[in-house]
Amino acid sequence: MQSENSFWNRRDLLKIGGTSAAALGLAGTAAVPIQAEQAPATPAGTPPDTPYPKLSIITPYSPQKLAFAAQAGYEGVVVTPGTAFNPNLSDSAIDQILATARNAGIRIVSIEYFAPNHTDPDAGKRAAAQADFIRALEFGHRLGCKFVGTFSGGQPGVRMEDQAAAFADVFNEKYLPVCEKLNIGMGWENYPTGVNFATTPAAMQAVFDRVPSKRLGLEFDPSHFVRQYIDPISAAWQFKDRILAVHAKDTEITQPILQQVGIAGQGWWRYRIPGQGIVNWAAFLTVLLQVRFNGGIAVEHEDQFWDAPHTGDLADFPQQRKDGFILARRFLEQYLPGRQA
């Protein structure tokens, strides 16, 4: 049974469901218009919001991992989908997740939802992907989040300008009405891959030129610019008003290997925890502080030096991976105000 002080109830869920159907234009669905009202309050017992960036970790959901994040001095978590954490969960399951976070003393700052290809060339797959992502926006809202991370989509062989126009149309027509009703934002990570065309400043600008609303922005990861030989500090200044979330990850360039294999070769770069690559974190975080960014700066731990193999499915992190998160927090917090462990 849902608790009386839960910020979400089934009446709200039905209203949002109507909004989603209307936004997608689903045939045969009777949309129930959402009322003009304030967004739900932050779930009771959640650590209070602050005007500062929120040091977080990206993690699958488990009570042990949320507890570790708080114990290690982090303020929040950015949670990735899985069997125990996805838009199909019942109200009572979401209540339990919120209670777990509350008991740990940690905020669920945002969620990641990268699977949908928003501009899939196949019309049926594209419609299904858009419906799936709207459900992810609703899921984030039910958790009290203000942001959902994703990719920008991809259309093989299509010009960048045309892909930008296609993605902008999807956001303006399908996602923006839902984002406004739910008081939530969305944005894409700049990870270079086939279903994420907008990973360079030129492509990002092409999208934003077509999207006036600041509810669409970036999940900015400086490490991905480094491996593309793009200056992340310059990109951060260019898009400072569109940075809605941050992945804190570094990139190490191994010059002896690079000189042998070139940028088209393998093994010349690897991801590291913040402070152990070449990103200028003082300069990057200065940009965020300049614009009073108060979203999540989430450590994305992909550093094999501080990890143990074949442990991703464990309920808790192995100690070596915990050490990486601890070192990352110690490094980043020297540049940031707010709660200190």
Mean pLDDT, the chain, integer:
88
Is the model's pLDDT at 10 over the cut of 50?
no
| Domain assignments of the chain as residue spans, ordered by start | 43-333
Is the model's pLDDT at 4 over the cut of 80?
no
DSSP-assigned states of every residue in 115-153: ---TT-SSHHHHHHHHHHHHHHHHHHHHTT-SEEEE--B
- pLDDT band (50, 70, 90) for residue 49: confident
DSSP 216: E
Q: Which two structure tokens, joined as six digits, stand for 158?
A: 């299509």
Q: What is the mean pLDDT of residues 23-32?
A: 37
Its pTM stands at: 0.86
> Among residues of the chain, what percentage have pLDDT more than 90?
82
- Report d(CA 58, CA 111) in Å as an integer: 9
H or E segment at 110? strand 107-112
**Interacting residues of 265 by C-beta distance below 8 A, sequence separation 6+:** 257, 258
274: nearest Cα among 232, 222, 339, 319: 222
Is the model's pLDDT at 30 over the cut of 60?
no
DSSP 171: I
- For 199-235, what is each residue's pLDDT tens digit? 999 999 999 999 999 999 999 999 999 999 999 999 9
- Look at residue 48 in the predicted model and tell me its pLDDT: 67
Write down the residue that tokens 């939530």 correspond to: 184
Q: What is the mean pLDDT of residues 173-196?
A: 97
SS3 assignment, position 173: helix
Q: What is the mean pLDDT of residues 86-107?
A: 97
Q: CA quadruple 39, 82, 242, 125: dihedral positive or negative?
A: negative
- Look at residue 33 in the predicted model and tell me its pLDDT: 38
Is the model's pLDDT at 146 over the cut of 50?
yes
HSE at residue 63, side-chain half, CA atoms within 13 A, is: 8
- pLDDT band (50, 70, 90) for residue 89: very high
User: CA angle, 103 as apex, 101 and 106 as ends, to 5°?
Assistant: 40
What topology does CATH give the domain 43-333? TIM Barrel (3.20.20)
Q: Which two structure tokens, joined as six digits, stand for 306?
A: 């501080």
- pLDDT band (50, 70, 90) for residue 46: low
- Look at residue 339 in the predicted model and tell me its pLDDT: 53
Instruction: Give me the amino acid identity at 119.
Output: T
- Look at residue 47 in the predicted model and tell me its pLDDT: 60
H or E segment at 324? helix 319-333
- Look at residue 20 in the predicted model and tell me its pLDDT: 43
Which carries the bigger pLDDT value, residue 23 or residue 159? 159
- Report d(CA 209, CA 240) in Å as an integer: 15
SS3 assignment, position 269: strand
